[in-house]
């Protein structure tokens, strides 16, 4: 590191929730005591060896960490450029990276003596992981989910209910993640003694930094796994960006390694017009919403715009204030991948490497395949497979095998 | 119209600009004043009013999505209302993103020209740097919106900053819920009155009946009604409703 270079890693946990001009804690006063309580508990816990032991032990025994680091030799050969590897976060219990910050936060909630957990979910992965840790630690769980997501991610609704959570379908607005976040905050206003277990690197302080802290284990594992497997650090790390938790988890440990390039891939949806995508860094404007200052998709008059993505987990109007800051600094570069490209990437990874990524993660793959083709063979590209694709059964099956899906539905109804 | 008020309290009436239409919301503001509302609380609608209940949320959505009222429309409506009632006390309520998008300074200056002295922005902590970006440029004060869980330290900090109107949430509820007064509010009000005897204290969230208005007057200076007024207006009974709560 040259002396003039910014030490991003230190800054993120020492900044009291401000990342450059972004972040902050823009909530009604009624929520401040609850957020301050969590922030104070997190500050203590993050340097408490017994808490960290318990966190890492639970990651290992309950979620199966460390997750695999997998070379993709057949795709590497097919594409003919850089060497490709994936970090398989889909091997976590409940199928995605989300369980990592859920384990961290549930231990914190327990430390605070909380009895009831509130969460929002988009794809259902965060809700599913929250429901699992609540069952595991014996806490009451209510998950808010936009009605559109409730319908398109039905398998996850079932898993949450099987785990004993109450799942509320939110009928407000566009019935997606955004509306679920608002409903969860309203629940918290009415039950300030509950713990709000927010599911990405967004929201008011301390969530962006706290979820990054819990997720950073992903990048730490990649560092040693990549050194061992490829004999060098990644040249490129590629992650999809909804709110930013899997991306920050992957990127954090490399922030001060200036030779490791970091790429966030946003949902390009079906076009670049408002309402057709969810690319907030590339097409959004600065704003303050849902507790934080960052880039948001909005109209010119400060109203929040609707978003679209084939993947529920990326179908959200805002982005982590930490990523917004790192984007402005030029430390993280942003790209998009379309719905079509993501679906094609699912199929390609399945056929060529025997792996089925979540539609969210498939956006990172779609971009990485294009990128790898332009790079020399000695370069290493690591892709974060934030989740596995089973939850998308009814979406991808409709796309690839609609007739079989209809036949199966008819069979079930018989 | 004459009012035979029993209590010494003042009534604050909330409405959403642009609901059901911009013109009708202006007309409603007039009816409020004519019906004895002492403080108008006019909401510049936002697509996602995170602190509001279903009635106000639906009104905001209608104003934004169907009526498509812009910030400029709202400022013009405020201008019309101001001209009609030059001395009426008006507070403007909105969410921080609308003010941010318009430009905090530009917004503050517009408010000052309209002779509006108080802004209620529930998702903007009143001592944040973004809040100062609004108040620095104009003779304008933000209104802290507090609940019964406000800590002593927080209250002391706000009181030291010299706010002159405190908006208290009746209970841990969103707007338009059933009414109750949280027992700890008494202590919060006591602390405000002791340090800042000149400051007014308003209570809102869920107030609908004259009895509830009286309960609030017994505890504070101002009763704030929102969702119940919208419901009365939707049911075509605004005047009757205003005279019932106005004589509380
Ligand atoms: C598998 C998967 N990846 C990515 C995301 C996007 O969230 P984030 O950007 O916080 O990682 C989600 C969200 O639901 C998800 O389920």
Number of domains comprising chain B: 1
Residue A98 designated active-site: yes
Looking at the domain assignment, is residue B96 inside a domain?
Answer: yes
- Given B61, B96, B172, which is nearest A190 (Cβ)? B172
Q: Which residues span the domain enclosing B111? A: 10-246
Contacts of A132 (CB under 8 A, 6+ apart): A93, A94, A99, A102, A163
Per the listing, tokens 């800590």 go with B151
What the block records as the tokens of B147 is 């609940």
User: Strand pairing of A18-19 and A22-26?
Assistant: antiparallel
Query: B87-106, pLDDT tens digit by residue?
Result: 999 999 999 999 999 999 99
Looking at the domain assignment, is residue B236 inside a domain?
Answer: yes
CA distances from residue A367 to A253, A294, B53 in whole angstroms, order as listed:
22, 24, 41
Alpha carbons A143 and A163: distance in angstroms, whole number: 12
Contacts of A53 (CB under 8 A, 6+ apart): none
The residue among B125, B173, B184, B192 with the most chain A CBs within 10 A of its CB, best to mutate, is B125
Mutate to test the pocket of ligand 1, among A99, A146, A266, A314 (most ligand atoms within 8 A of CB): A314
pTM of structure = 0.96
Alpha carbons B108 and A274: distance in angstroms, whole number: 29
Looking at the domain assignment, is residue B5 inside a domain?
Answer: no
Mutate to test the pocket of ligand 1, among A100, A128, A200, A242 (most ligand atoms within 8 A of CB): A242
| CATH class of residue range A66-95+216-402 | alpha beta
Taking the CB of residue B143, how many other CB atoms lie within 10 A of it?
A: 23
Distance from residue A146's CA to the centre of ligand 1 (Å): 15
Domain boundaries, chain A: 19-60+97-211, 66-95+216-402
Name the residue in chain A with its Cα closest to that of B122: A28
| pLDDT at B243 exceeding the cut of 80 | yes
CA distances from residue A305 to A310, A410, B48 in whole angstroms, order as listed:
17, 38, 10
Residue A386 designated active-site: yes
Query: What residues pair up with A248 in beta bridges, in sequence order?
Result: none
pLDDT by 10s per residue, chain A, length 414: 444 566 999 999 988 899 999 999 999 999 999 999 999 999 999 999 999 999 999 999 999 999 999 999 999 999 999 999 999 999 999 999 999 999 999 999 999 999 999 999 988 999 999 999 999 999 999 999 999 999 988 899 999 999 999 999 999 888 889 899 999 999 999 999 999 999 999 999 999 999 999 999 999 999 999 999 999 999 999 999 999 999 999 999 999 999 999 999 999 999 999 999 999 999 999 999 999 999 999 999 999 999 999 999 999 999 999 999 999 999 999 999 999 999 999 999 999 999 999 999 999 999 999 999 999 999 999 999 999 999 999 999 999 999 999 999 999 999
Q: Identify the pLDDT of residue A2.
A: 47
Is A241 close to ligand 1, i.e. is its CB under 6 Å away? yes
What the block records as the tokens of A40 is 């104070």
Tell me the count of A-B CB pairs closer than 8 A.
104
* Angle at alpha carbon of residue B230, lines to B229 and B236, rounded to 5°: 90
Q: How confident is the model at residue B176 (pLDDT cuts 50, 70, 90)?
A: confident
Binning chain A into helix, strand and coil, the percentages to the nearest 5 are 50, 20, 30
Is A364 close to ligand 1, i.e. is its CB under 6 Å away? no
Name the residue in chain A with its Cα closest to that of B47: A303
| pLDDT at B5 exceeding the cut of 80 | no
CATH architecture group of domain A19-60+97-211: 3-Layer(aba) Sandwich (3.40)
Q: Identify the pLDDT of residue B241.
A: 97
> Between chains, do B100 and A302 touch, taking CB under 8 Å as contact?
yes
Alpha carbons A389 and A358: distance in angstroms, whole number: 4
Distance of CA B72 to the CA centre of its chain: 20
> Between chains, do A29 and B128 touch, taking CB under 8 Å as contact?
no
Instruction: Give, to the nearest 10 degrees, the angle between helix A393-400 and helix A339-353.
Output: 90
Name the residue in chain B with its Cα closest to that of A36: B151
Which of chain B's residues have a Cβ under 8 Å away from the Cβ of A172?
A: 57
Q: Identify the pLDDT of residue B26.
A: 98
> Would the CATH topology of A19-60+97-211 be identical to that of A66-95+216-402?
yes
Whose CA is closest to B173, among B186, B185, B187, B159?
Answer: B185
In angstroms, the separation between the Cα of residue A120 and the nearest Cα of chain B is 14
Looking at the domain assignment, is residue B2 inside a domain?
Answer: no
> Between chains, do B48 and A288 touch, taking CB under 8 Å as contact?
no
In angstroms, the separation between the Cα of residue B35 and the nearest Cα of chain A is 31
Contacts of B237 (CB under 8 A, 6+ apart): none
Active-site residue (options: A98, A216, A280, A391): A98
Q: Identify the pLDDT of residue A213.
A: 98
Whose CA is closest to B89, among B8, B193, B11, B21?
Answer: B11
Q: Identify the pLDDT of residue B4.
A: 46
What CATH number should be reported for the domain holding residue B58? 3.20.20.70
Looking at the domain assignment, is residue B149 inside a domain?
Answer: yes
Residue A9 designated active-site: no
């Amino acid at each position: 590191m040259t002396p003039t270079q910014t030490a991003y890693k230190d800054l993120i946990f020492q900044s009291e929730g401000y990342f450059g001009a972004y972040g902050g804690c823009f909530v009604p006063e009624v929520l401040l005591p609850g957020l301050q309580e969590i922030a104070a508990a997190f500050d203590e816990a993050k340097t408490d060896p017994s808490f960290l032991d318990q966190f890492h032990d639970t990651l290992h025994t309950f979620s199966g960490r460390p997750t695999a680091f997998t070379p993709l030799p057949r795709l590497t050969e097919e594409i003919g450029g850089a060497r490709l590897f994936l970090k398989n976060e889909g091997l976590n219990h409940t199928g995605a990276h989300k369980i990592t910050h859920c384990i961290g936060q549930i231990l914190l909630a327990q430390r605070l003596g909380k009895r009831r957990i509130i969460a929002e979910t988009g794809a259902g992965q965060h809700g599913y992981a929250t429901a699992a840790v609540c069952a595991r630690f014996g806490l009451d769980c209510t998950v808010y989910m936009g009605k559109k997501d409730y319908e398109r991610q039905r398998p996850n609704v079932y898993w949450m209910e099987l785990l004993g959570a109450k799942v509320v379908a939110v009928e407000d607005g566009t019935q997606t993640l955004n509306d679920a976040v608002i409903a969860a905050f309203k629940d918290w206003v009415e039950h300030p003694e509950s713990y709000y277990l927010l599911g990405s690197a967004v929201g008011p302080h301390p969530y962006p930094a706290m979820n990054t802290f819990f997720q950073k284990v992903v990048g730490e594992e990649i560092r040693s796994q990549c050194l061992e497997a490829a004999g060098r650090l990644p040249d490129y790390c590629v992650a999809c960006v909804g709110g930013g938790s899997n991306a920050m988890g992957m990127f954090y440990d490399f922030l001060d390694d200036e030779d490791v390039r970091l790429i966030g891939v946003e949902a390009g949806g079906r076009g670049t017009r408002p309402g057709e995508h969810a690319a907030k860094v590339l097409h959004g404007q600065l704003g303050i919403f849902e507790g934080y200052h960052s880039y948001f998709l909005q109209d010119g008059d400060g109203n929040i715009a609707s978003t679209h993505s084939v993947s529920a987990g990326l179908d959200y109007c805002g982005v982590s204030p930490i990523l917004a800051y790192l984007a402005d600094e030029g430390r993280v570069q942003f790209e998009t991948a379309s719905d079509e490209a993501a679906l094609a990437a699912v199929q390609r990874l399945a056929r060529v490497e025997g792996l089925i990524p979540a539609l969210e993660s498939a956006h990172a793959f779609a971009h990485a395949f294009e990128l790898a083709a332009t790079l020399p063979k000695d370069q290493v590209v690591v892709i974060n497979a934030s989740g596995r694709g089973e939850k998308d059964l009814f979406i991808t099956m409709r796309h690839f095998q609609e007739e079989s899906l209809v036949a199966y539905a008819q069979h079930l109804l018989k | 119209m004459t009012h035979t008020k029993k209590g010494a309290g003042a009534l604050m009436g909330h409405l959403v600009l642009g609901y059901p239409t911009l013109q009708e919301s202006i007309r409603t503001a007039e009816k409020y004043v004519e019906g004895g509302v002492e403080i108008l609380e006019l909401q510049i609608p936002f697509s996602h009013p995170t602190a509001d209940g279903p009635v106000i949320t639906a009104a905001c959505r209608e104003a934004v999505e169907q009526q498509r009222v812009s910030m400029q429309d709202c400022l013009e409506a405020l201008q019309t209302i101001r001209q009609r009632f030059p001395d009426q006390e008006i507070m403007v309520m909105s969410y921080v993103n609308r003010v941010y998008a318009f430009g905090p300074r530009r917004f503050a200056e517009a408010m000052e020209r309209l002779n509006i002295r108080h802004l209620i922005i529930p998702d903007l902590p009143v001592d944040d740097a973004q809040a100062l970006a609004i108040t620095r440029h104009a003779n304008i004060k933000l209104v802290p919106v507090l609940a019964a869980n406000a800590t002593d330290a927080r209250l002391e900090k706000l009181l030291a900053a010299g706010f002159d109107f405190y908006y208290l949430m009746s209970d841990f509820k969103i707007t338009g819920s059933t009414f109750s007064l949280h027992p700890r509010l008494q202590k919060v009000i006591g602390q405000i009155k002791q340090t800042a005897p000149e400051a007014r204290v308003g209570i809102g969230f869920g107030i609908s009946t004259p009895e509830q208005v009286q309960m609030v007057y017994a505890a504070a200076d101002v009763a704030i009604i929102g969702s119940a007024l919208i419901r009365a207006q939707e049911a075509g009974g605004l005047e009757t409703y205003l005279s019932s709560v106005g004589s509380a």
